[in-house]
Amino acid sequence: MLAGVRQQPIICRLPVVVLTSSQESTEVDRAYELGASSYLQKPVSYDAPNALISTLNICWLQLNQIPSMITT
């Protein structure tokens, strides 16, 4: 699926955050090879998802500089 996203001109530049339970280095490497912007392990505690979402919001939506829009 990630490789397919990266092949579509309209959405290829969207940040893709992989959220998974795996910490296997081969899976991390493969996600980045396919074009992942970030690879995060799912939090195991009850309150951790809120902190993770808040951090993602700050990073990707408030601090991140985005490129100009792609025209088709």
Domain parsing of the chain, residue ranges: 2-63
Predicted TM-score (pTM) of this structure: 0.66
Residue 36 and residue 17 in contact, taking contact as beta carbons nearer than 8 Å: yes
Domain 2-63 is in which class? alpha beta
Q: What phi, psi does 42 have (nearest 5°)?
A: -60, 135
Give the pLDDT score at 69: 63
Summarised one tens digit per residue, pLDDT across range 43-69 is 777 777 788 888 888 887 788 777 676
**Residue type for position 54:** S
Q: How far from the centroid of its chain's Cα atoms is residue 57's Cα?
A: 12
Six token digits for residue 30:
């493969």
Summarised one tens digit per residue, pLDDT across range 3-18 is 898 999 888 888 898 9
Give the pLDDT score at 47: 72
How many residues does this entry show for the chain? 72
Give the pLDDT score at 36: 94
